[in-house]
Structure 1
């Protein structure tokens, strides 16, 4: 549980604003408590753990009762009926080996809980960032629509004095219509992402996500220790599975050993009539010891071979998964660097676009303005703003993936 708390903390410090960190922390906690997938893995772990009590048993005690239809005669009298009891006991240490094997399976199942929690935390965070980006883009479009309305007013004034044509006004209006369409589409995408987010938290789909404050690009990246990748739960799970096969082989060796049985037979003897001696009608009690030896042990040899092959398979699976995780980590690190580079470029471009806009406004004050230039600058400014938001979102999404892999 300590590792989960550590990962959770590192997810939280991705935020530059305290309010955002607290909000995401609350949402992740809610998801961890309510998500049905987590509950499924926890129930599976409890079920496997309960099997320890199932295997901590010995074979059933055998009882038998027989009645002599044709009573055999003995010196002490005729045998009437027979009662027997028998208990087989596994070889020394067999039950302990069974418990160790089941416990190793439970340990492997527990790693699935850790993996599921990590994935859920990453999914909640990424969905949260998608909501932020969508909301931020809608706000940018609203601001640009208002800006175009201002330009439209300027164009109408210019038309009145003969310095612009009605076509300029219509072009500005059409551009506003396009932006409103983009905003409406984003709103529908926001609702779809909100449904996904609510499902991760296992709550009603129409629950409204509170307004998300602006995310800022951090001044510096947090450290990424790639050596920690070897301790990732997805890889530790294979170690636990490997250990479970080792325990399976130890159990196989124990079960290939003999079984010892102890029993007791009781035979009721009827007194012989017309005779008088000390043992007349004396019942028979016969303790017994038996041994069950697996002479034909081909089954156990085959199981040993299967265990060896399974261990090799697990090692191959672990190496394959390690390669995949290393690729994902490298990709996430590089894409996060690319997001920071893109953000810096878009910030620079946005400043230059703003300077160009100021020049156009000053031109309007002197009576000379080209509304084609206005639309071009506005389109560039919108593009840079959208790209800047995408860069911030990408940075946080990739950071969430990195956290999933190495923390």
Structure 2
């Protein structure tokens, strides 16, 4: 039927409409992967999480070392008189050694906490990637609906021209053929645009406000068939009102796009809007969710929240071991060095009339030392171990809760995907029926046997269903984005 209608279109008009199609649907080649890489690298929240991870790695590198040795030096203001001479001063050096296994436990606890911070960092990256993809899909949705609004505006302008021709007493048959030539390409544009949207749309498939609103307004076009006079004039006024409303809606759509561009800029760490020409995968591309009966293994292995809780639990288990080892004695090894000077005995005659100096007087003394601390107050060590065990148990329960929530979210994603795909199939059938109806109505209109208002109403309804189709396709892609969020597809393991 489409080929039959083309027989009535002038060649120049067909070229003009082809140019309009190419203008209305520019090639959208913005690389989402490039935006994602920049967001993961430059987003302030991601950069802050990266710094926290580096700090945790530094703390882990400082764990597992012996305590600093203790050096003590003392000098007597007056020499201490001892049998071995006058003691001038002393110095001691002591190194404490924790009980066997304590340093290893400290290092394991610090490493587990660093891995938990790394999992938290991946969680931030996952949220940034998800927010970017949702904003990108919103831009795609707004741009696709904007295209439909522009088609609708072109339709209203064509109808207004037709009404003016009839009001001025022009050739009604020629006017109808001209209007049909302008309406039918719009049908082709709507179909080709929707089929090229291969896989994207928003959650909740409600028709766009401007597209559906214009469709409802088109139902009142029956007065246009009255030809010249008050009916055609009132039709012109109604068309102008609808056109003004649609132009206002397009301005609002542009404002929404500007806000979405600013959201993209914020996610990229910029203080400016980042215009994006959103594009999606090839036409007809689809993806499959894993079996809904059980949570996929890739989610269990890669989900950042589960990984963070598991590493924190491991750190608490190491704290239990550390608290137990703290209750064991610490051994200290050291040396004490005492400085002496000889002292002559007063009043005691020495050999050959000299003073008597005992043998060995004035020799410095070296004394090896061993110390042992006695952890007698056991209650504090038991309390530390008990607290760490309770926290480890709480983290294990949290992991069970997160697994249940992930499974529930996964089931919800399956339901949302099935609902969106079911709606897509329904809309595809409805659009096909409307296109067939539009073919018949356009053929009848060219043969002066049909009603222009009928063609208008069918075309407006087709645009409304195309808007719903965009919404449903974006809904499917939002399910995919949510699953990638669960499995941390954009941030690795």
TM class by shorter chain equals: 0.7 to 0.9
- Structure 2 runs not aligned, ≥5 long: 1-26, 170-225, 345-354
Contact 2:319-2:388 at 8 Å conserved across structures: yes
For residues 216 and 85 of structure 1, the distance between their equivalents in structure 2, rounded to whole angstroms, comes to 75
Instruction: Tell me what 1:200 maps to.
Output: 267
For residues 367 and 279 of structure 2, the distance between their equivalents in structure 1, rounded to whole angstroms, comes to 86
TM-score (norm 2): 0.72
Q: CA deviation at 1:68?
A: 3.9
Instruction: Tell me what 1:168 maps to.
Output: 235
1:288–1:368: structure 2 CA closer, same or farther, 3 Å change rule? same
Correspondence list, 1:1-400, <5 A? 23-68=31-76, 71-161=79-169, 163=227, 164-209=231-276, 211-213=277-279, 218=284, 220-225=286-291, 226-228=295-297, 229-231=299-301, 232-273=303-344, 274-367=355-448, 373=454, 376-400=457-481
Contact 2:264-2:273 at 8 Å conserved across structures: no
Contact 2:144-2:470 at 8 Å conserved across structures: yes
For residues 99 and 309 of structure 1, the distance between their equivalents in structure 2, rounded to whole angstroms, comes to 21
Contact 1:217-1:392 at 8 Å conserved across structures: no
- Structure 1 runs not aligned, ≥5 long: 1-18
Contact 2:324-2:382 at 8 Å conserved across structures: no
Contact 1:104-1:241 at 8 Å conserved across structures: yes
State the secondary structure of the residue aligned to 2:62.
helix
Q: Per-residue displacement from partner, 1:333-389 (whole Å, max 9, x unpaired)?
A: 211211112222223323333444444444544556656545543442332121111
Task: Count how many residue pairs are aligned between Structure 1 and Structure 2.
Answer: 388
Q: CA deviation at 1:280?
A: 2.1
For residues 321 and 218 of structure 1, the distance between their equivalents in structure 2, rounded to whole angstroms, comes to 35
Contact 1:265-1:286 at 8 Å conserved across structures: yes
State the secondary structure of the residue aligned to 1:58.
coil
Q: CA deviation at 1:66?
A: 3.0
State the secondary structure of the residue aligned to 2:336.
strand
Q: CA deviation at 1:289?
A: 0.8
Question: Which stretch of the first structure deviates more once superposed, 153-162 or 29-38?
Answer: 153-162
For residues 283 and 213 of structure 1, the distance between their equivalents in structure 2, rounded to whole angstroms, comes to 86
Q: Per-residue displacement from partner, 1:233-258 (whole Å, max 9, x unpaired)?
A: 32122211111111122222222221
For residues 337 and 301 of structure 1, the distance between their equivalents in structure 2, rounded to whole angstroms, comes to 54
1:393–1:20: structure 2 CA closer, same or farther, 3 Å change rule? same
Q: CA deviation at 1:314?
A: 0.5
For residues 374 and 29 of structure 2, the distance between their equivalents in structure 1, rounded to whole angstroms, comes to 65
Q: Per-residue displacement from partner, 1:262-315 (whole Å, max 9, x unpaired)?
A: 222222333232322321223332221110121112111001110111012112
For residues 383 and 283 of structure 2, the distance between their equivalents in structure 1, rounded to whole angstroms, comes to 59
Q: Per-residue displacement from partner, 1:165-196 (whole Å, max 9, x unpaired)?
A: 21111112211122112211111111111111
Contact 2:109-2:319 at 8 Å conserved across structures: yes
Larger Rg: 2
State the secondary structure of the residue aligned to 1:300.
helix
For residues 214 and 307 of structure 1, the distance between their equivalents in structure 2, rounded to whole angstroms, comes to 50
What is the aligned-residue RMSD (CA, Å)? Answer: 2.5
For residues 279 and 48 of structure 2, the distance between their equivalents in structure 1, rounded to whole angstroms, comes to 34
Structure of greater relative contact order (alpha carbons < 8 Å, 6+ residues apart): 2
1:405 aligns with 2:476: no
Contact 2:29-2:279 at 8 Å conserved across structures: no
Contact 1:168-1:371 at 8 Å conserved across structures: no
State the secondary structure of the residue aligned to 1:165.
helix
1:217–1:328: structure 2 CA closer, same or farther, 3 Å change rule? farther
For residues 68 and 220 of structure 1, the distance between their equivalents in structure 2, rounded to whole angstroms, comes to 88
State the secondary structure of the residue aligned to 1:100.
helix
